[in-house]
Amino acid sequence: MPQTAVYSGTRSFRGNRELTEVTFAPGVTTIGEYAFFECSSLTAITIPDSVETIDSCAFFGCSSLTAITIPDGVTTIGNLAFEACSSLAAITIPDGVTKIGERAFQRCSSLTAITIPVGVTKIGNYAFYACFSLAAITIPDGVTTIGECAFAGCWSLTTITIPDGVTSIGRSAFSGSSLTAITIPDSVTTIGNGAFRGCPSLMAVTIPDSVTAIGECAFFGCSSLTAITIPDGVTKIGFQAFLGCSSLTAITIPDGVTKIGTYTFMGCSSLAAITIPDGVTAIGTYAFFECSSLTAITIPDGVTTIGHEAFRGCSSLTAITIPDGVTSIGNYTFQRCSSLTAITIPDSVTTIRLGAFDGCSALTKLILSPAVMIGADCFSNCTALIAAAADKNMPTVSDLLHYRWHRNLAVTERVNALLCLKGSWDHVENPPRRSARKRKRRDGVETPPLRVTEAREKIPKVLWRVILEFL
């Protein structure tokens, strides 16, 4: 195969890994698709003034190409035109270019700076994806759309100005970059899914009043973000929107939001204060999981659903009131809320599910409806819990529930039944008149009476429920 060649506009040198130099025949107007695809030994090229279009994949994978001159007559750079030109450190795009195709400079990992000409209105999807060395870029005022993943993986990019005309920031547009601050212009209405995901250096964001929706994972993993103001016009915050924003200390959710989605604030370990508006009706699964600095939160009266593990690991939360509309407390909802000392559960709650308060070691008292169904391990490791009172307006109620960790459980004549929630029946001392004392499962089925524990047998801790019969 030759090391030098003449390009006439028709022949492709696709895959010629020995080609080092190219000249162009007079009058060539288009560099066609795959013309120099993976010509990995090509180091430099000068495109003649007659060329108007650089087609898709024209220089794809020219990994030794360090410099290229694009003439002023070029108006279009096609999709993937320079993808994976990993040695290309600089390129000048002439002012006549009006279209830069998708993935045009994707994986140009040595490219350090670029200026986009004023005629361009859209930065295509993945246009500069994984340009690891790109530290500076100028976006002209005429740009209205920044496509999905346009600057994703640009590790060296610390600052960028988004022009006022931009109306759309695409999915993952700046994800994985090193941006430290960003101002979103008033023209933007939607922040796309994952737009700033994994930007660990991002400390400040200005969101304009024009924004109505914050997409899923929009600020996921922005671990340096300390504060953010969500404008009043926002009605939707996507799931995982602020997951892992471990430096975020406070946030106010606007009145138009009706749901706090799944994982929305999960892992926001510095979040000490949050305001939830009255319009919110649902708190999603894992919504505040491991928000370990959150000391207090008010759940609005309109909330009817609290998802599984919503407040799990909120170890600084001291008190919480659940509104009347909630009917069920999900699995592990308050697990490991180790500072929680008091909680009010309304009569509307009919079910407390698996492990809901497991590990709430400071919880000493809670108010329960006598009709509530309690899931397995619901109060496991609640070592300080000594009482759970039924409705004070029902003095004749016959089943006042007591929960307590106990080593030597002695059951008195006042007990008519015993239900163990965690532990071994075999190590609980029988009540008097053994034949009359039946163990009951939660479905009401009676089981054989308790066995008398011998003194020499080890008696483990048992979480137990006693149903008292008032005298």
pLDDT tens for 151-166 read 999 999 999 999 999 9
Q: What is the 3-state secondary structure (H, E, C) of the chain?
A: CCCEEEECCCCCCCCCCCCCEEEECCCCCEECCCCCCCCCCCCEEECCCCCCEECCCCCCCCCCCCEEECCCCCCEECCCCCCCCCCCCECECCCCCCEECCCCCCCCCCCCEEECCCCCCEECCCCCCCCCCCCEEECCCCCCEECCCCCCCCCCCCCCCCCCCCCEECCCCCCCCCCCEEECCCCCCEECCCCCCCCCCCCEEECCCCCCEECCCCCCCCCCCCEECCCCCCCEECCCCCCCCCCCCEEECCCCCCEECCCCCCCCCCCCEEECCCCCCEECCCCCCCCCCCCECCCCCCCCEECCCCCCCCCCCCEEECCCCCCEECCCCCCCCCCCCEEECCCCCCEECCCCCCCCCCCCEEECCCCCEECCCCCCCCCCCCEEECCCCCCCCCCCEEEEEECCCCCCCCEEEEEEEECCHHHCCCCCCHHHCEEECCCCCEECCCCCCCCCCCCCCEEEEEEECCC
Calculate ∠ Cα 219-221-223, nearest 5°: 105
| Whole-number Å distance between alpha carbons of 370 and 434 | 26
**End-to-end alpha carbon distance in the chain:** 104
Percent of the chain with pLDDT over 90: 62
- Quick one: 392 exposed, middle or buried, by C-beta within 10 A (0-12, 13-18, 19+)? exposed
pLDDT above 70 coverage of the chain, percent: 80
Chain position carrying tokens 């926001």: 268
Q: Looking at per-residue confidence, does 326 or 368 come out higher?
A: 326
Q: Which of 290, 294, 260, 292 lies closest to 277, judged by CA?
A: 260
Average pLDDT over residues 34-61: 94
**Residue with the larger pLDDT of the pair 60 and 467:** 60
User: pLDDT tier at 378 (50, 70, 90 boundaries)?
Assistant: confident
Phi/psi of residue 251, nearest 5 degrees: -155, 145
**Which pLDDT belongs to residue 426?**
40
Q: At 309, is the pLDDT very low, low, confident or very high (cuts 50, 70, 90)? A: very high
Q: Which residue type sits at 75?
A: T
pLDDT exceeds cutoff 80 at 406: no
Measured CA to CA, the distance from residue 11 to residue 439 in angstroms comes to 88
Domain boundaries, the chain: 405-468
Highest mean predicted confidence (pLDDT) among 23-32, 100-109, 183-192, 321-330: 100-109
CA distances to 115, 335, 382, 400 from 368, in Å: 65, 18, 16, 9
Angle formed at CA 289 by CA 324 and CA 277, multiple of 5 degrees: 45
- The CA distance from 273 to 251, in Å, is 7
Angle at 149 between CA 171 and CA 72, to 5 degrees: 130
- Cβ-based neighbour number of residue 155 at 10 Å: 15
Q: Would you say residue 408 has pLDDT above 80?
A: no
pLDDT of residue 385: 65
Residue identified by tokens 């295509």 is 124
What pLDDT is recorded for position 185?
94
pLDDT of 383 higher than 90: no
Q: Tell me what pLDDT residue 459 has.
A: 33
Residue 442: both structure tokens together: 């939660």
* 272 close to 248: Cβ distance less than 8 angstroms: no
Find out whether 401 and 373 touch, Cβ atoms under 8 Å: no
- What is the predicted pLDDT for the residue at 10? 72
pLDDT of 423 reads: 37
Residue 469 pLDDT grade (very low, low, confident, very high; cuts 50, 70, 90)? very low
Tens of pLDDT, residues 212-254: 999 999 999 999 999 898 999 999 999 999 999 999 999 999 9
pLDDT band of 363, cuts 50, 70, 90: confident
Instruction: Name the least confident of 6-20, 306-320, 337-351, 387-401.
Output: 387-401
Tens-place pLDDT, residues 118-147: 999 999 999 999 999 999 898 999 999 999
Structure tokens at 254: 């606007």
Predicted local distance difference test score (pLDDT) of residue 445? 45
| Residue 11 backbone zone (phi > 0: left; psi -120 to 50: alpha; other: beta) | beta
Q: Token digits for 439?
A: 């163990």
